[in-house]
Chain A
Amino acid sequence: MQGSTHGIPIDTDKSSPIIVDLIYRLKIRDVMTSTILSCRPEQTMQDAQKLMKDNSITGVPVMVERRLVGIVSMDDVINALMTGTMGQPIEKHMSRQVIVLEDDMPLSFGISWLDKYRYGRFPVLNAKKELVGIITSRDIIVTLLLEMNKEIERFEEATSHREASTSGFHLEYTTRRFDFEMAGRLSTETKRQLKERDLPPKIIRRVAVAAYELEMNQVVHSAGGTVRVVYDGNQGRVEILAQDTGPGIPDVESALSEGFSTATEWVRSLGFGAGMGLPNTQRVSDAFSIESSPAGTCVKVTIATEERSNP
């Protein structure tokens, strides 16, 4: 496919090869939702409306056996409501000219067809013309975000590897309040780096636990901050420094005792904020210090990377 294809908002000749590759490499089947709700032509518009409402969707394929005969959308429901014909069978209201996609088409088709036809969804057929899924712009957005995230992570990893010297490394991540998505990235990357250097699994786990708890603490309790991990191979130790921008811990001693928590209900519902974060961190550390004021909290952890035979 040459030049800018109809409906794709980027120039496929000049754009980043990673992104262009993405929309051609991904197939419609990788993006579509495969659990398909459907209705039969003899059901009423009320049935269609209930199905849409119960499942928060705006269109449903109409099927006879495994054959697609039409599609009924929220627009059709609104028209039926306005004309008082909600009791009529769906077949009187559905669109019969259904634009479909095939499951092995590249995603670029899906993107351009959404623009070309202005429908909210397309049924997806396989080579045997059977309905195998449905694709919406939401499906496309979600998949593209996940895939782009993967590509960027790969890119960032390649960059950080180049900076890392053969023995030591230095990683720093920024956390934001309630950004649970990002938390865990530092500890996962730290674990990977330490594994590459063949450190004992027990040590790696202790470092990863400390880094994760400190990241989580910032996400749950602070206005945000940074967590830095420095591994010094010559000194044989990992240092973790977590520095946030407030509001500080009013009672540090209580925060260090297991079970004490100031987390909100919804944070707890995710399985965090049980008051074990700082105690867990302290338990896995060889040296642990904490300083807190309303301007911020700074936690410093040191973990020796060689299991010492003499104390």
Chain B
Amino acid sequence: MNISQVISQLQLQSLHDCWDDGPLSGAYTSDLMSDVMAHAKEADLLITIQSHKNTIAVATLVGARGVIVCNNRPVPEDMLAAARQENIAILVSREDQFSVSGRLYNLLRGE
């Protein structure tokens, strides 16, 4: 499973196209950045409502492939610019973290 498949299956909106479409290892759902740093894995997607530039810094540090911003939260321009530079996908969903996580779990583990 890769990002482009997740985008079409979960009907996400991708805010830029500077990202690698390599295989995903899994996903991590959290709004606590220290928690993400402690537990997220390489090549994960990060599911969160934390829509700011530091989320990209944290995603970069843990080697995540992308961030799913839930509840249609607006994404600030500096976050978008950082994501482009670090090749981290930003995918926006209308749904909340529970729904996105559930659907993504079925996609990734139901394969």
Contact = CB atoms under 8 A, between A and B. Distances in A.
A209 B54 contact: no
A272 B57 contact: no
B6 interface: no
B39 to A, nearest CB: 10
A270 B61 contact: no
Contacts of B60: 188, 191
A190 to B, nearest CB: 10
A180 B61 contact: no
Interface string B19-53: 00000000000011111111000100000101011
B78 interface: yes
A18 to B, nearest CB: 17
A184 B54 contact: yes
B67 to A, nearest CB: 12
B76 to A, nearest CB: 10
Given A146-B77, A181-B78, A274 B35 contact: yes
Interface residues of A, number: 25
A161 interface: no
A188 B61 contact: yes
Interface residues of B, number: 26
A271 B28 CA distance: 14
A213 B53 contact: no
B63 A270 contact: no
Chain B facing A: main interface SS: helix
A205 B61 contact: yes
B85 interface: yes
Interface string B58-72: 101111000000000
Contacts, number: 70
A142 interface: yes
A183 interface: yes
B32 A274 contact: yes
Given A146-B78, A187-B57, A270-B50, A277 B34 contact: yes
Interface in A263-294: 270-272, 274, 276-277, 280, 283
A52 B97 CA distance: 33
Given A276-B32, A280-B38, A188 B57 contact: yes
Contacts of B61: 184, 187-188, 191, 205, 208-209, 212
B55 interface: yes
A187 to B, nearest CB: 6
A272 B78 contact: no
A213 B58 CA distance: 10
B81 A271 contact: no
Nearest to A212: B61
Contact of A280 (B31, B37, B48): B37
Given A187-B57, A201-B42, A209-B37, 7 more contacts: A150-B81, A184-B53, A212-B57, A212-B61, A270-B54, A272-B54, A277-B34
Interface of A: 142, 146, 150, 180-181, 183-184, 187-188, 191, 201, 205, 208-209, 212-213, 216, 270-272, 274, 276-277, 280, 283
